[in-house]
């Protein structure tokens, strides 16, 4: 990762105001990075902070999957995803896939304000960082070779 990070900003409907408040509070730090967001969230963050946000489609229309693809292609470095733990999501499978791919590719991920605060203020946000990525293909090969 370069010192200027590519940060994905995502929030479910009932968490959008939380993310907007957090983004406004941290707008000075966020201005040093490239911001990406799902449809409505990206638009709202851009309007609230006056920062440019590249927008993918809305989450339920494929935006979560687009961000997952960007992670796989090494185009997203950090993900701030304020998801709603109390509301069922019609695209829950996509949300879980996005969280899974973030873990597979060792992307720093924050799902609430406290973890987002710790993440965004880390000294590592301002420096080059060599992210370790597990070679799962080798692990799968070992599992099959053991049989």
State pLDDT tens for residues 118-142: 999 999 999 999 998 888 877 776 6
CA distance 54 to 35: 6
Three-class DSSP category at 119? helix
Does pTM surpass 0.85?
Answer: yes
Three-class DSSP category at 31? coil
Annotated catalytic residues are 64
Structure tokens at 22: 């957090």
Structure tokens at 55: 């927008």
CB contact at 8 A, 89 and 95: yes
Whole-angstrom CA distances from 84 to 15, 67, 140, 143 are 6, 18, 33, 36
Give the chain's residues under pLDDT 50.
Answer: none
């Amino acid at each position: 990762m370069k010192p200027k990070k590519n940060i994905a900003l995502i929030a479910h409907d009932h968490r959008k105001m939380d993310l907007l408040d957090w983004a406004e509070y941290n707008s000075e730090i966020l201005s040093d990075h490239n911001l990406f967001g799902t449809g409505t969230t990206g638009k709202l963050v851009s309007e609230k902070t006056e920062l440019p946000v590249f927008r993918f489609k809305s989450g339920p229309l494929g935006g979560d999957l687009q961000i997952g693809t960007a992670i796989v292609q090494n185009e997203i470095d950090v993900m701030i995803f304020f998801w709603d733990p109390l509301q069922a999501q019609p695209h829950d499978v996509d949300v879980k896939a996005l969280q899974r791919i973030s873990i597979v590719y060792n992307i720093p991920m924050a799902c609430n304000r406290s973890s987002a605060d710790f993440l965004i203020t880390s000294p590592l946000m301002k420096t080059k960082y060599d992210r370790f990525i597990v070679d799962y293909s080798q692990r799968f090969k070992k599992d099959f070779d053991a049989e």
